[in-house]
Amino acid sequence: MLKKELMGKVVSNKMSKTVVVETSRQVRHPSFKKYYTKRKKFKAHDEKNECQIGDTVLVRECRPLSREKCWTVTKIVEKAVAV
């Protein structure tokens, strides 16, 4: 069975070896026919603690690593610009 892969933005990296990734998708309202954005946050495993807030990352589904964490960071697609 294929594992799901999602692309999202890192919104928190305050936990050890864990980042919070927010993904968004466009959904069409059934009666108003207008598109709106739905967002969802996932906790993902970051083995080397290399993700920073604002990075765009690719995450892949895996076995449950804790109660809320069942995704791993596959690669960093784009680094955030340091201010």
- CA angle at residue 25 from 20 to 35, to 5 degrees? 145
**What integer is the mean pLDDT of 17-32?**
98
**The predicted structure's pLDDT at residue 81:** 86
> CA 66 to CA 56: how far, in whole Å?
23
Has residue 83 got a pLDDT over 80?
no
Q: Which of 21, 25, 37, 16 has its CA nearest to residue 70?
A: 21
Q: Find the mean pLDDT for residues 61-76.
A: 97
pLDDT of residue 34: 98
Residue with tokens 């495993």: 45
Which contiguous run of DSSP H or E holds residue 19?
A: strand 18-28
- Domains observed in the chain: 5-78 (2.40.50.140)
Q: pTM for the full model? A: 0.89
Question: d(Cα 26, Cα 35) in Å, to the nearest integer?
Answer: 6
pLDDT bracket for residue 4 (50, 70, 90): very high
pLDDT at 82: 75
